[in-house]
Structure 1
Amino acid sequence: MRRSMLIVLSLMAGILAASSTALCGVVINEIALNPSANDPLAAEWVEIYNPGPDNVDIGGWVVVVQAYPWSGSMEMAPGTVIPANGYKVVTGDPRWTHEINASAILYSASGEEIDRTPILEDDEDEGSNWSRYPNGVDNDRLTDWAYITATKGRENVLR
């Protein structure tokens, strides 16, 4: 009985550790604060990237874009999954226009902060965005970010 209990507890600890690792790997990978003025339906968007080897269920997760004192949120529908090494783009309201002093924060369904961008500025309207470069790198530094050509839903590359 005692041995069975140890096996069950070991398995549960392994599952929890794997879940935690998967959560920690997901990052905000790109953010469009100033979409094209030529498209009236264009909206701010945030790309989320899963660099890990496993699919991650992000149902109920929320991205909040903050430009103090304003903030807007985008919630993932239940059952939303980012595949291994995959992307999910979430789109805000077309009326949002926060090209200066804005930041995005990613929260899990339980409210845990998963990732955040630094405070960013994009007052240009030329098809570039703030992107993690190299793709998915997260050292919690401003140098993780580069203002490069938009790569919505794809790997961030220099062109």
Structure 2
Amino acid sequence: MKPITFYDLTSRLRTKAWSPNTWKTRYTLNYKRLPYTTEWVQMESIAAVYKQTGAEPTQHKRDGTPIYTLPVIFDPNTNRAISDSLQITNYLDKQYPDTPPLIQLPGLVPQHQAREMMLQAAFVDSFGTHAMGSLWQFMLLRIHDNLHDETRIHFRTTRGDV
């Protein structure tokens, strides 16, 4: 099996990794014991990763402009790129059924599996919209401080003044 390429956001931290969203995918890959390599990406290069891999945008703005976020994986075993941590987890569960499952819980009938997935998606959406909304302003300052100098400019122009 060829290693999966995992695209993660870099920082000035010793460990480089800092984003909770990309950590979800890193934990997933490790839990499933799938071989992977990490490609470290600056924020301003995320769109290029999408174009290079052929990954679908995670969202679109109201005007139709694509939104590109990490994590993204590229699986050379299937020649597929997947974006968004929940979609990546679903893909890995389906593509590698002989590894420990994360969402497709053993013993549940398909209807219950669908319910579990909907509940997780609802939690992620609600948490991101409500709980993170009030914490975001405090997190922005800390994130900004840990970014490479060239990424700070991009961060400020895409997230407002920090």
Shared fold, TM over 0.5: no
Q: Which has the larger radius of gyration?
A: 1
Task: Looking at secondary structure, tell me which structure has more strand per residue.
Answer: 1
**TM-score of the superposed pair, with normalisation by structure 2:** 0.24
**TM-score of the superposed pair, with normalisation by structure 1:** 0.24
